[in-house]
Amino acid sequence: MSEREDFLWQRFFAACALFFVIFTFVGLEVSWPQPPSFAWSAEQTAAYYVEHQTGFLVGVVLCSIGMAFLLIWTVQFCLMLSRLEGGSRAVTAVTVASLAASPVLLSFDLAVFGVVAYRPDRISPDITRALSDLAWLGSQHIWPMLTVGMALAGILILRTQGRPESFPAWLGYFSLVVALCEFGQLPIFFFKSGPLSGDGAAAWYLATFTWGPWILAAGWSMYQILGRLQTNRSAESRHSVLQ
């Protein structure tokens, strides 16, 4: 593979941040009904899935595709961080493990959502509610790993300013802020209603509407950095030929 082709692939992988946001936003916020109240009875929960069955199933498919793009983007993001770190690259290794766990674990949660919405009118409402709780709370309980990955990425970005492949400092600070926002999901197992419950403002909306913009911002920065590096490499190659 030529150097030009390698850069094209890497820029495509960086652009996967956009594809992830598009598929996940349409699946999760357009097709997919928002979280039902965790204080509902089993019958109310089952009726919710019966009423919104098609929306859930379409959302599961779209979000599952989004997870594939997220995993691709994560690998590219951490590859670029590893170039900055140098040395043992231990921070990058922990970061990639922390961030890559999210699309993998979320894919399993999406499968559970699919099972819940598959035949909600033919199984016990208690089973439907139990599986619903498993899927919703399980998808949110990845927050500790996300927090670690975002925080380490932010620290590494801020500590490596001034290098040719550096990410902008604002992304480092943004990473730390988003990492703090993930703590809004800490109390989800202690509340069934209100802002601290799984469907509340702190746990659901704060995390959802900061995670996506962070990935989009990082992907845009990656795309620009790769474009700049490609231009510099081309200029260096032409200079070598002239000499």
| pTM of the model as a whole | 0.90
Q: What is the 3 state secondary structure string of 115-132?
A: HHHHCCCCCCHHHHHHHH
The residues spanned by each domain of the chain are: 3-233
Whole-Å CA distances, 177 to 8, 95, 103, 214: 31, 16, 21, 10
Record the tokens describing residue 98, joined without a space: 């922390």
Residue range 18-33, pLDDT digits in tens:
999 999 999 998 999 8
Assign 156 a pLDDT band (cuts: 50, 70, 90): very high
pLDDT of residue 125: 96
Overall average pLDDT of the 86-114 stretch: 89
Residue range 109-139, pLDDT digits in tens:
999 999 999 999 999 999 999 999 999 999 9
pLDDT at 5 over 80: yes
pLDDT of residue 165: 86
pLDDT of residue 71: 95
pLDDT at 76 over 70: yes
pLDDT of residue 208: 81
What is the average pLDDT value for the chain, to the nearest integer? 90
- Report the percentage of the chain scoring pLDDT > 90: 71
pLDDT at 87 over 70: no
Backbone angles phi, psi at 35, to 5 degrees: -55, 135
Assign 64 a pLDDT band (cuts: 50, 70, 90): very high
pLDDT at 2 over 80: no
User: What CA–CA distance (Å, rounded) separates 153 from 210?
Assistant: 15
End-to-end CA distance of the chain: 25
